[in-house]
Amino acid sequence: MGRGSEPEPRRVPTAVALALVLLVAACGGPSPSPTPAATVAASPGASPSAGSASPVASPEPTSSGPGQSIGTTGAVVLLTNDGSLSMVDAAGRSFIVASAGDGNFGFPTWSPDGSQIAAPRTLGTNKSVVVFDAKAVVAGRSVEPVVIFQSATIDPFYLFWTPDGKAVSFLASESSELSLRIAPADGTAPLDGSGPGAKVRTGNPFYYDWIARDRLLAHVGLGTDAFLGEMRLDGKAAGAALGKPGDFRSAVVSHDRKSIAFVRDGGTGPGQIVVAARDGSEEHTMEVFGSAAVIFDPAGDTLAAIGAAEPVPPAGFPLGPLRLMEAGSGKIRTLIDGLVVSFWWSPDGKTIAALRVQEVVGSGLPSPGQPSAEPSSEVRLVFVDVATGTTRSQPVVKLGSNFVNGILAFFDQYALSHRAWAPDSSSFLLPESEPDGSTHVTVRFPDGQPPILLDGELGFWSP
């Protein structure tokens, strides 16, 4: 990831500009919530299952109250409007993790076993990474966080637990560069990050996925200085580089750690989305034009990717149909067509939740001599059954500004470290803006049951 490191957006076609305008509008002040119109203009080549279902009014949401179940065995950690942290468990009970007086917190993330929560914190002039005992919070005990890193000059902003849950890796801004650092979760290392092995490598931008406790798959830097390949914790390459990286963010590892996926630069031609064994064998590819994002099925070896499937002026961010490619056979199919801007696999690999921008034509007939109604646009949260391609539901949503500004631009990296789906795949969290400009974290159900509103700007499920 990067802070101010992404290439400047270039000139884009009308459809792409529409997506950009719509997403930026979601960050603005109070405005009417988008509502379904009578007809959805399906994208060219849209499949009935993914693109042309008739819109229906979304069920009325309900607010979460004490004792109201949120329908799973997991819990949600919430970043609230004042920068504090809270938690809601499966039974709907609310707990304060850290109050506003305890500092201003960044995006929290759960440890792999769900027993701890780590978060960046700003308190006075100090920037730190802190770890909370989630079990103690649920037990109703007052919890003092364990500080595992602290600095007045180094600013941590993105956290990703190591696979064994014993340490937290994090990206930080320091001077004019980004660094990847690691700190043990028990706070036993020097808090200023001066201990051996605390700083892995610098680079801007910086994206990575964990292969094992001692090895990463990393995509670092731009242009001729870019690195793409496996990396040890000393920051050095572990094996041959994977070649010149294309226009994408995070390279990813399959759940069994046997396959990898990335985007290869195509020179003057299209880029290639690549799925291969870690040693580079058994390679399969599909073409992509412009920026792309890739994420593996968390329960199998199927890769999902978005990006333009045909030549179009570049958008500067991943935008296009959502396609699947099987690691074993290389078989490719389109699951969701149109302008998909982000997506998330359910933990069981059976459903994908995707945000798609689409045009809507008003139902009113124009007056004689008047031009036809201008198309408007909306964002839909599309839940699709992966096996059949059937759309389970597709409510219209208006995204919360903190989500758009902080998560959406790097959704593929956050999908590796922060969970939007409930652990039993029963529901999905999405920060949504209300007509008065406020934001709720909405618990959305794939089959269209009435959503539940949680108080917060952002929220993440436990494992």
- Which string of DSSP letters, residue by residue, matches 203-264? -SSEEEEEEETTEEEEEE-SGGG-EEEEEETTS-BSS----SB-SBS--EE-TTSSEEEEEE
Q: For the chain, 463 residues long, give each residue's pLDDT as a single digit of tens.
A: 765 433 332 333 344 444 444 454 443 332 222 222 222 222 223 333 344 333 334 455 555 544 467 867 899 999 998 889 999 998 899 999 999 889 999 999 999 999 999 999 999 999 999 999 999 999 888 889 999 999 999 999 999 999 999 999 999 999 889 999 999 999 999 999 999 999 999 999 999 999 999 999 999 999 888 999 999 999 999 988 898 999 999 999 999 999 999 999 988 889 999 999 998 889 999 999 999 999 999 999 999 999 999 998 877 889 999 999 999 999 999 999 999 999 999 999 999 999 999 988 664 545 555 655 555 889 999 999 999 999 999 999 999 999 999 999 999 999 999 999 999 999 999 999 988 889 999 999 999 999 999 999 999 999 9
Neighbours of 239 (CB within 10 A): 13
The pLDDT assigned to 374 comes to: 55
Nearest Cα to Cα of residue 210 among 249, 248, 179, 250:
250
Q: ∠ at Cα 393 (431, 67), nearest 5°? A: 55
Residue 219 lies in a domain: yes
Residue 387 lies in a domain: no
Asked if residue 347 lies in contact with residue 298, where contact means CB atoms within 8 angstroms, the answer is: yes
Residue 183 lies in a domain: yes
Residue 419 lies in a domain: no
Residue 338 lies in a domain: no
Residue 269 lies in a domain: no
Q: How many domains does the chain have?
A: 1
Residue 260 lies in a domain: no
Residue 326 lies in a domain: no
Dmax (CA) for the chain in angstroms is: 77
d(CA 384, CA 405): 25
Domain of residue 191: give its range. Answer: 103-224
Asked if residue 276 lies in contact with residue 320, where contact means CB atoms within 8 angstroms, the answer is: no
The pLDDT assigned to 224 comes to: 84
